[in-house]
Structure 1
Amino acid sequence: MLRASTTTMQEHAMQQYRLWVRISQTQTTNTIVHADNALAAKQIGETLYGRGNVLNYTRVG
């Protein structure tokens, strides 16, 4: 028997996360990424800025 999926669009909607990242030895910046969850947001930041350079991440929207 086949069952139809009952997931809603909201369950698959990406969220906004604010990342605080290190861009040099003396400089940091905030950036916004869209991701499915907090871990994915951190991984996106580490891909963009390098491993260990995501200092904090917070869901904002």
Structure 2
Amino acid sequence: MAAASFRWLLQLHKDVPKAARFYAEGLDFTVNVCTLRWAELQSGPLKLSLMQSPNFGNVAQ
């Protein structure tokens, strides 16, 4: 039986560059693209996309 594995993940973040720096410096991911709103990182076969959450700042209090 083959094991299941992730190849792509998408995460929503308030601060994309800060999250990308965490993955790059703390978890040794390679940063392929990084802007204020979008980042693409890679570690082996796993590709991780970070996107700025469209709802930050619009949360009802």
- Per the normalisation by structure 1, the TM-score is 0.30
Q: Which structure's residues are more often helix, by fraction?
A: 1
